[in-house]
Structure 1
Amino acid sequence: MKNLSRLLFAMLLMLGMGNTYAQDENNPWAITLGTNAVDFYPTGEAAPLGDMFDEYFNATDHWNILPSVSSLTVGRYLSNGFTLGATASLNKIDKFGDDRSKYDEVTYVGVDGIVKYGFGAAINSSWFDPYLGVGGGYTWVDEIGAGTLNGTLGINFWVTDNVGITVQSAYKHAFEDYLDTHFQHTAGISFKFGGKDTDGDGIYDKDDACPEVFGLAEFDGCPDTDGDGIEDSKDDCPNVFGLAQFNGCPDTDGDGIPDNLDDCPTVAGLQELNGCPDADGDGVADHLDECPNEAGPAANNGCPWPDRDGDGVPDKDDLCPDKVGTAANNGCPEVTEAVQKALNAYAKTILFDTGKSSIKGQSESVLKDIIAILNEYPNAKFTVEGHTDSVGSDATNMKLSDARALSVKDYLVARGVDEFRLSSKGYGESKPIDSNKTKAGRANNRRVEINLVK
């Protein structure tokens, strides 16, 4: 058993010194200087010791503490949160549970290796880094040594990027009867170092804003390819020497617009035209102007357009090129309130055979007037609406009003009004404009309306 303990110790020590205890990729090496306390009591052994974890924090009665720097740990980062380390510790033992006679300030020496996993990255914390570890080592008490198997719980509190406070507690199970199982608590200050420089520019990766690209110290390790004094990440033209006022871009034509924003970088131009000239002053840059020496609107590519009726809508876009209209109505005149009233004044005089949808012959003249008005507004759309009084059932009145509205629509379409400009709908007795209690009121309610679709 003694040979097995020594072999285990030797293997762990060699592994530990080759790749030891670490903190992160940028600072792979760490050294911890601290003090340690050895406690035999809360290990579950027989009296004079206590049960497992019994009086675990009773430092006054059970902890053996050497009041000086008594622990040294060297560590190196592996990967994915794992580190491997080696620790040497020194102590004086004069407390063995409740028995003060077993030891009289005998020397305690421990050399241990550990593999640990840190949870700092997993919990997304840069300063609070708890860890669990497992390992083993060799411990001598009063010059008698034995191998141990260790389990460790600890926390790193990183005060800065490179300096932190470390506290941990290790349970050390002895392989030999002449060494008692015990706890060893450690508190110390940790220092990280050994940062790498991936791009070889003399700036460690942890301080290098561009760790994979060779750069300059004045730009925190980032490059300035064109040498204009502006680092590439802030240089809008990183491969061309430029001016600071233009974020590193040149202004070849000197018009105050940098080449990268200038549509005409070799010819001085106007700011509002992205650096291009406008010879005729019509607001259309010469290289886009089909008539560069004759002013015209941008909508017509810089050329003037014909407008026969002079309403400001070019003939090619004017649905009524020979009638003055509005741009909002595609060059056609808009239906005014007066025109709408005139339409309905005519529509109310349309007469039908009693109880039928057939139009009486004497309504022909008023329908001609209605057609004349509709033809004045060739792009306007209208709805022919039929209405009745309250005499008769709702269903009958609805059917009759719908039929009369459709009859008027068909009449107008048959006489040249575009059918796509007209729709019809009956409302029955649902929209009276007068009282249905009098003969005159009912006569007013029996009507046709022709309303503009807005």
Structure 2
Amino acid sequence: MKHLASALCLLLFSFAQVNAQQPKTKKPAVLSFTLSFSDYNTPALIRDSSFSKAFKGTDWLNPGKKSFGIGVGWWKQLTPQIDFSANFNGTFSNFPELFVKDDSIGQAGFTPQLDAMVHLFAFKQGVTFNPFLSAGAGAGIFGGNTAAYAPLGVGFKLRFKEGAYLINQIQYRKALTDGITNDYLLYTVAFAQTLGKPKKAPETVKEKTSPVPADKDGDWFEDNIDECPDVAGKVKGCPDTDGDGVADKNDPCPAEKGTLNGCPDTDGDGIADKDDACPDAKGSVNGCPDADGDGVADKDDLCPDMKGSFKGCPDSDGDGIGDGEDKCPTVAGTTADQGCPEIKQEVKEKVEVAAKNIFFRFGSDVLLNRSLPPLKEVVTLLKKDPALQLVIEAHADSIGTAERNQLLSERRAKRVAQFFINSGIDARRISYRGYGATQPVADNATEKGRAQNRRVEMKLRY
């Protein structure tokens, strides 16, 4: 997909370039004859492995891995840089297993497809080489199943002479219904020829402009005093749509009658409704009330009845975090710790060491006895500081199913949490979660890596 993204960026850059103007002509339709190759394997490889693995080696270039097809198309120019096409393609398909719904062994058959697309060109028609982007919708019969898809493509049109073209495309066809189970790629080479000759559009004859009158907009304001000489109006020659005596060009609210520079002020606080955060309540802070007079509007004041310096709230410990958001309002702390003191490094290290020495019986959530001493040290730390909370996260390696790994990690996290609760720690201070094999820290391809991924992490917080 990286190469496709690069190609799209190149085309978008090309759209910004100014091309020489072409003669204004009505282009006839174009008939194309197409040779195609369908690739049913590569998108599945990208989905099941990765982009680099899917294109590793030369198998994806091998024509024997593709399905040959032929087709016809009808192209019609809509604008100088946009074409519409309707295409019929028949493919002698060799489907891989599971590509067609309910087909577990793969099959061969003739696949008719019909699609309609819009093509956006980099340059106006008439240049020799013209890249384009494509998008559309289509449907086909795949091994007896009808399926809809959305083709997204990139390609170019090569002009041999007026009316004769070579058109190359690469399309990514996104499956929309369940007749097929995966997306696929289509590579096409088309030879195109116009049907008839282009007809020149009739030339327009410019009308002679009449002399500018003294009052060209006819509003009874002479042009030399008319502030809007090209449009009729009653306020110094300018329109006043809402009739409030302020010309539209000077009225911030031209469609609403108002008394404040042309805008309504419903609550009469001297702030127009459009700028008033509280248009129905008179106030001094952006048009809003401020009951405690601390400069923070009541609607934004976390403590509307108490004057304060932090979001309208007092800050008892002076740590720059208001009492309403300070988890430790009587003890100065840091913003990173939500107003609580920073946890000492040696305490964090003891918890990290304890986490690395948690072991379970193989394939279960039963704690081994050698795990208990380090866990008891963490219990001691938690009892010394009743404000501390503990977060427990359990992880698994990739052996087995994702469902089993998720369940096992959740049970192990819960088992560790239960140990602390049984040791006298309030359950409200303990939180736990299992992540299965979704967050590896090492390569699951080796035993050493898998051992590192089977882990429990413990983090302290206030």
- Interval of TM-score (by shorter of Structure 1 and Structure 2): 0.3 to 0.5
Structure (1 or 2) with the greater helix fraction: 1
TM normalised by structure 2 equals 0.34
